[in-house]
Structure 1
Amino acid sequence: MNIKESILLRVRIAFLAVIAFVLVVIYRIADIQFVQGDEWRKEAQEIGLDYKTIKATRGSIYADGNDLMATSLPFYKIAFDPSLANDNTFKTGIDSLSLLLSKFFRDRSPGEYRKKISEARQSRKRYLVLNNNLINYQNKEMMEKWPIFREGQMIGGVIFDKFDERHRPFKTLAQRTIGGVNKDGEATVGIEKSYDQFLAGQDGKGLYQRIAGGNWMPVNVASDVKPRNGYDVYTTIDINLQDVAQNSLLRQLEKYGAAYGTVVLMEVKTGEIKAMSNLTRTESGSYVEDYNYAVQGLNDPGSTFKLASMLALLEADKIELTDSVDTGDGTVKFYDRTMEDQSASKGGYGKLTVQEVFEKSSNVGVSKLVDQYFGKNPQRYIDIIKSTGLGKPLDFQMMGEGIPYIKNVDDKSWSGTSLPWMSVGYETAITPLQTLAFYNAVANDGKMIQPIIVKSIRKGNQIVEEFEAKTLDKKIASKATLEKLKIMLEGVVERGTAKNIKNDFYKIAGKTGTAQKLMNGRYYKQRYYASFAGYFPADEPLYSCIVVIDYPKGWNSFGGDVSAPVFKEIADMIFALDLGLHDTFKEERLAKEGTFPVIRAGNYDELNQLLNEFGISNHMEEENVEWVRASISNNAIAWKSNHSESSLVPNVEGMTLRDALYILENKGLKVSVSGTGRVLRQSVSSGRRIVKGTTITIELG
């Protein structure tokens, strides 16, 4: 036999040996599992061994700015294996340990604790629950330093069984939006439920032994599967704005004794929801967050839908704002039903321009216009509205979004009165968030974007997934139509049904809505669904907002009286907080002309070198600053930091074109330049949130 044949023989023998070994292992597994299975399971029950679930720690939910909105706090039940400590450790530490336990829990005397532990040690008890009260993490750390316990679990015998409890630092703030977790750790509603797959993590498995008293003690073997903790969810909610919105809504609900209310505040360009509150009146008269009306609440929108009717009329090239319509005495009959204006009891508005029809929210005016131009082809009216995206789900990030309903002419419920009643916001079903997305599109120059409330999923500092608002429609209408819609919306606040919220500091654009409530198949007067939707500042929209208050009591229960003031209170707070909106408050920290060179702002190293060459005294007030702005300090120039947060527009006024371009383009902004010299003005004020791809114009001089 040659060497080659010898090697092959040995390989074959080894291979056969391995196969034989594997077959034996498989046989033994099968024998234990199926033949002897019942016997071993019975023995395991007698011994009391079982694999139990080790719950993963649920991820946290954060607001914009990293404010903690929901987290799982660890609590512990303290147990003890008194048999593990050696005699010396036990004898020298038991008295002190008993005294500390007595002082902490205050349920037994030191002597009683000593007797309880000593008896358990003598009987070789492996698992003794010292107290059923849960302790927090800080107390756990303290107890780990106590006599005997300081030796650890394997030597000292101390056992801290961990339990997680969900905690919301801001209590009821955005409670329904954030959602909840039941006693079994299962998510129920809100973001908790919608992002449960990320937050929940993955439970582990551990071997436990049942001991006297029915308790289970962890065995801590190598086969234990450790749990994988959940990821963290970062939302777009601004805690300060959420607080303002929720409290403003609550005050108005209490004032009018309303059934429920909701408010949503959104950034126009990004679609980020900054505040969302939903409050329902309980039998006791208090208000709680128990249902998300903003996302799920389908209802006839009422007069806020008139914006869609005007868009359809303008897009079909049927009207101009200066055209007129006779509203008569405030009533008009369509078949067997009578349409009425609020002014009907006062004799009506008479002849109005299209602009005035919208500002005064004339039902008669809008329905007559829509019936006149679309009566012979109502589907054309419907198709134009649906082409904007209104009537389609937003595919919002939270579960349970209401499915909007705008009927077609082939719908079984269609009748001769459907078109005029649809034109003023009836016989439809739309959620407040869907209405807001439509208004936001008008403010956003026709671009309809998907509202978002979750920005990212993270594991520590590592981003697992990021979210941006999707573009649902690049242009819901022509530029000419959008400009006319904006004029009408501003007119509502300047002269119309929302003139009570007009102010001298900034402009608001919006529309009031007051829909009769549909109950048991019929509409009830004096039971209103009052709303206001719009955006601000009207000339350069930053935020859009909708406020809905259902069934306000009292005489003044219309959208302009009830919902619009909440909108204004939120807008006022934002105006007060955002100094970028205050032209009169804009800080000018430029060095004066005259003795000093025309130094404004730029790179510190370059400017410092330049002034040193000229022998001009200058000093820095801060350390490690790259970009600075000049101010005068006695007979010298003082440099102050001129950088902003990465997410905010920087101040480039006074800089050279080179420096301004470098900073702005690195922030993701597109730059348009006019003139020569240094930057005199910038079209987007510093301190505003950056939307990548936005164009900023800088004027040089």
Structure 2
Amino acid sequence: MSSKFNDKKIIPRYGLLSLFITIGAIAVVAKAFYIMTGERDYWMAVASRQKKDSVQVKPVRGNILSCDGQLMASSLPEFKIYMDFNTLKTTGNDSLWNVKLDSIAQGLNRIFPSKSAAQFKADLTEGHNKCSKHWPIWDERIDYSTFTEVKDLPVFRLPKFKSGFHWEEFNARRRPFGSLAQRTVGDMFGAKDTARCGLELEYDSILRGTNGIIHRRKVRSKYLNITDTPPVDGADIVTTIDVQMQDIAERAVINELKEIDGRVGVAIVMDVKTGDVKAIVNMEKCFDGEYREIRNHAVSDLMEPGSVFKTASIMAVLNDGLCDTTEYVETGGGVWNMYGRDMKDHNWRRGGYGGMYLPKTLLVSSNIGVSRIIDKYYHDNPERYVQDLHNFGLTDDLHIPIPGYSPARIRYPKKNKNGQYVNWTKTTLPWMSIGYETQCPPISILTFYNAIANNGCMMRPRFVKEIVKDGQVIADYPPVVQRKQIAKPEVIKKLQIILEHVVSQGLGKKAGSDKFLVAGKTGTAQMSKGALGYKTGGTDYYLSFAGYFPANEPRYSCIVCIQKHGLPASGGGMSGVVFHNIAEGIMAQSLKLEAADARDTIGPFLPEVYNGNLHAADYVLSLLGFSVNNGWGGAFPSGDPVWGFVDENTGRLQIQREKVVPANEVPDVHGMGARDAVYIMESRGIKVILDGRGSVLQQSIGAGEPIRRGMVCRLKLG
């Protein structure tokens, strides 16, 4: 083999190869430059379809809990469902769609019966023809159980990147107790997932949590989520609301409003020692005649409080030592001219009250009596009287954590440089002393009466006790003393006695109870219509009762305010009745009685037993000392329900079981108590509306009918 290098043959070959490589390199660079410039927009669009950066992930909103940990507002997932017909075609499942379309339409009709199968088919066919990538299957949000039903339909059950079925998930806000304390707990704007009012809005930043950040990459026709910053779920808020007290107060207010055709009803219940707001009701009559919570009147209504304000006036004159309870005042025949204006007592048509001592001015709520006493001692120095009202905490900013709250407004006398009052007349003081020419929200008036019940110590109303995250308390809100002592202890004691007599002997009798002592004050005031005056278009009345119970050892204070049009109108006879019902309902909760105490020794030998859960009936009958033939001796109070009735017609108690209809049929609940009837109905997905009390007399849907989604059954009890 020759070692001589033949450069004449080799060099041209290397040169030709280098030329090809150089041309290829130039072509690659040129193509890359062209892609970067001429085709930049196209390839950027392609890249955007393969990845998504900085995608926000919403955290789970925190819960709002009652004082004992029951859910009052919670976040539950809801979904909007769509179909991507373009994906369906590109994956080759278009033929499967055509075969299964009828089955899909029928399945959707079964899940959403308000829309026919034919309508579903026509709607889906339209989306298919348009090759839509985001065609809505159902226009509204659906809950998780409904979502799983839809997802189990033909084609939809395939993987998302094959079927084209996809969804948007939302954290929907739900209140397990319905409208209970709705305006205080608050609402959400559903479409925006943002807080609207109440505690939801005030504590929005705490409840909302912090959004997370992810980026998404498309790998083999499937998006993978890669977390950059994980979301931080919202914390839970523990309120002071007691669900049972709230229910008692709400029912008491609504019943009275319906009885008297009232326009607005407010009730607040507060714990005397801590200031905890245990119940707060804000009912307003709507255009359809039903009562709902539209706005938080309890903290936002700046109204002339009327006669409940007289207690503060009497407290002022006693606390300043200007007189004592032996002060005597003449009220004449029920009409007294005060600087050119007639002041009238409520019984002026019946001749008035004549002369009386100071305590009676509150017992009978005498406008003349209170206004004459205040005018006598403060006419030349109204600043002292108004300063007393401020010192009592009536105008304090209570820092209520509910948007819309406003502190009370009480005018302070002002003089010009010549020493003349510029915002004050001779009649201002007399009318202010009986609750006019001032503006106080119900929460401020209740806080004042709560201080009297608490021996003069004013507590700030508390709505939130603590904030909890993952079972740990991260913020605590202890009770706050607003004012250590609003008046002298001996003055507070005198007023406690007078307010107790208002209920036991005076106009507040309907607020009282024969089971425990009640103290409080009635109020009936005409409502101003601004520039139109008080009587234009008829007179509107603001009826109230503020007090506390039990009077000897106060536990709870309460205020009830009702707005209504026209006569009859009575603070004691209307708001006082609501107060009575609330107080007795709350106190009944604390009673600890033995079941055997319920046995009636003079009644029928055998008791009447409602149909329903035989285990529960057997348990109660055993505790009452009755022997039940073929029973269980009260051994299974919380066992699985056994349905039937107790036959007492044979002279002895005999358990008779009944065959329960299949789970897909409406059960027969005639003769059952409300608890058992609701349980067996709702366990089968039937919503129940109760009308009356006692055992079930009628059910609006007959027994044995097939159960359909969204079915509502009205039960008449008696």
- What is the TM-score with the length of structure 2 in the denominator? 0.67
Shift of 1:379: 1.0
Find the aligned partners of 2:250 and 2:37 in 1 and give their Cα distance: 61
Find the aligned partners of 1:396 and 1:184 in 2 and give their Cα distance: 26
Find the aligned partners of 1:485 and 1:206 in 2 and give their Cα distance: 64
Match of 1:500 among 506, 510, 516: 510
The corresponding residue for 1:184 is 192
DSSP-derived class of the 2:521 partner: strand
Match of 1:529 among 538, 542, 545: 542
C-alpha distance 132-421 of structure 1, shift in aligned 2 (>3 A):
closer
Match of 1:577 among 584, 589, 605: 589
- Does residue 510 of the first structure (1) align with residue 520 of the second (2)? yes
Find the aligned partners of 2:222 and 2:548 in 1 and give their Cα distance: 58
Match of 1:253 among 257, 268, 290: 257
Match of 1:420 among 430, 442, 455: 430
Matches within 5 A, 1:111-130: none
Find the aligned partners of 1:200 and 1:41 in 2 and give their Cα distance: 38
The corresponding residue for 1:408 is 412
The corresponding residue for 2:371 is 367
Q: Is the 8 Å Cα contact of residues 48 and 209 (structure 1) preserved in structure 2?
A: no
Shift of 1:352: 0.4
C-alpha distance 95-66 of structure 1, shift in aligned 2 (>3 A):
farther
Q: Is the 8 Å Cα contact of residues 334 and 352 (structure 2) preserved in structure 1?
A: yes
Find the aligned partners of 2:449 and 2:468 in 1 and give their Cα distance: 32
Match of 2:460 among 437, 447, 450: 450
The residue type equivalent to 2:320 in the other structure is A
- Does residue 441 of the first structure (1) align with residue 444 of the second (2)? no
Match of 2:562 among 536, 540, 549: 549
Find the aligned partners of 1:450 and 1:194 in 2 and give their Cα distance: 17
Find the aligned partners of 1:128 and 1:340 in 2 and give their Cα distance: 71
Q: Is the 8 Å Cα contact of residues 256 and 554 (structure 1) preserved in structure 2?
A: no
Find the aligned partners of 1:244 and 1:314 in 2 and give their Cα distance: 37
Find the aligned partners of 2:527 and 2:156 in 1 and give their Cα distance: 66
Find the aligned partners of 2:475 and 2:309 in 1 and give their Cα distance: 36
Shift of 1:143: 7.7
Q: Is the 8 Å Cα contact of residues 490 and 538 (structure 1) preserved in structure 2?
A: yes
DSSP-derived class of the 2:268 partner: strand
The corresponding residue for 1:74 is 77
DSSP-derived class of the 1:342 partner: coil
The corresponding residue for 2:402 is 398
C-alpha distance 442-99 of structure 1, shift in aligned 2 (>3 A):
same
Matches within 5 A, 1:478-497: 478-497=488-507
C-alpha distance 134-496 of structure 1, shift in aligned 2 (>3 A):
closer
Matches within 5 A, 1:234-633: 234-410=238-414, 412-521=422-531, 522-524=533-535, 526-555=539-568, 557-579=569-591
Cα distance per residue 1:94-127 (max 9 Å; x no partner):
9999898566424879xx99x99xx99xx9x998
Q: Is the 8 Å Cα contact of residues 58 and 231 (structure 1) preserved in structure 2?
A: yes
Shift of 1:444: 0.6
Match of 1:193 among 178, 190, 201: 201
Shift of 1:132: 6.4
Q: Is the 8 Å Cα contact of residues 144 and 152 (structure 1) preserved in structure 2?
A: no
Q: Is the 8 Å Cα contact of residues 60 and 232 (structure 1) preserved in structure 2?
A: yes
C-alpha distance 149-331 of structure 1, shift in aligned 2 (>3 A):
closer
Find the aligned partners of 2:352 and 2:87 in 1 and give their Cα distance: 91
Find the aligned partners of 1:252 and 1:73 in 2 and give their Cα distance: 35
DSSP-derived class of the 2:406 partner: coil
Find the aligned partners of 2:202 and 2:37 in 1 and give their Cα distance: 42
DSSP-derived class of the 1:433 partner: helix
Shift of 1:285: 2.7
DSSP-derived class of the 2:404 partner: coil
The residue type equivalent to 1:105 in the other structure is L
Matches within 5 A, 1:648-659: none
Find the aligned partners of 1:133 and 1:518 in 2 and give their Cα distance: 45
Find the aligned partners of 1:434 and 1:532 in 2 and give their Cα distance: 13
Find the aligned partners of 1:518 and 1:293 in 2 and give their Cα distance: 16
Shift of 1:460: 3.1
Shift of 1:249: 0.7
How many residues align? The count is 538
Find the aligned partners of 2:135 and 2:98 in 1 and give their Cα distance: 17
Structure 2's unaligned 5+ residue stretches are 1-35, 110-115, 416-421, 598-718
Cα distance per residue 1:593-643 (max 9 Å; x no partner):
xxxxxxxxxxxxxxxxxxxxxxxxxxxxxxxxxxxxxxxxxxxxxxxxxxx
C-alpha distance 176-338 of structure 1, shift in aligned 2 (>3 A):
same
- Does residue 162 of the first structure (1) align with residue 169 of the second (2)? yes
C-alpha distance 505-37 of structure 1, shift in aligned 2 (>3 A):
farther
The corresponding residue for 2:143 is 136
Shift of 1:560: 0.8
Q: Is the 8 Å Cα contact of residues 253 and 552 (structure 1) preserved in structure 2?
A: no
DSSP-derived class of the 2:527 partner: strand
Q: Is the 8 Å Cα contact of residues 208 and 218 (structure 1) preserved in structure 2?
A: no
The residue type equivalent to 1:200 in the other structure is R
Alignment root-mean-square deviation, CA:
4.0
C-alpha distance 395-142 of structure 1, shift in aligned 2 (>3 A):
same
DSSP-derived class of the 1:475 partner: coil
DSSP-derived class of the 2:554 partner: coil
DSSP-derived class of the 2:586 partner: helix
- Does residue 172 of the first structure (1) align with residue 183 of the second (2)? no
Q: Identity percentage over the alignment?
A: 34
DSSP-derived class of the 1:222 partner: strand
Find the aligned partners of 1:420 and 1:498 in 2 and give their Cα distance: 23
Find the aligned partners of 2:283 and 2:37 in 1 and give their Cα distance: 57
C-alpha distance 320-156 of structure 1, shift in aligned 2 (>3 A):
same
The corresponding residue for 1:628 is none
Shift of 1:142: 7.0
C-alpha distance 128-458 of structure 1, shift in aligned 2 (>3 A):
same
Find the aligned partners of 2:381 and 2:139 in 1 and give their Cα distance: 74
Cα distance per residue 1:387-435 (max 9 Å; x no partner):
1211122111222211311111117431111111111111111100000
Find the aligned partners of 1:326 and 1:448 in 2 and give their Cα distance: 34
The residue type equivalent to 1:72 in the other structure is S
Q: Is the 8 Å Cα contact of residues 206 and 218 (structure 1) preserved in structure 2?
A: no
C-alpha distance 586-302 of structure 1, shift in aligned 2 (>3 A):
farther
- What is the TM-score with the length of structure 1 in the denominator? 0.68
Shift of 1:184: 0.9
Shift of 1:500: 2.7
Shift of 1:317: 0.9
Cα distance per residue 1:117-153 (max 9 Å; x no partner):
xx99xx9x99887776755334556788899988976
Shift of 1:268: 0.7
DSSP-derived class of the 1:513 partner: strand
Structure 1's unaligned 5+ residue stretches are 1-35, 211-216, 588-701
Cα distance per residue 1:435-465 (max 9 Å; x no partner):
0000000001111011111222222312222
C-alpha distance 137-320 of structure 1, shift in aligned 2 (>3 A):
same
Find the aligned partners of 1:102 and 1:151 in 2 and give their Cα distance: 17
C-alpha distance 326-127 of structure 1, shift in aligned 2 (>3 A):
closer
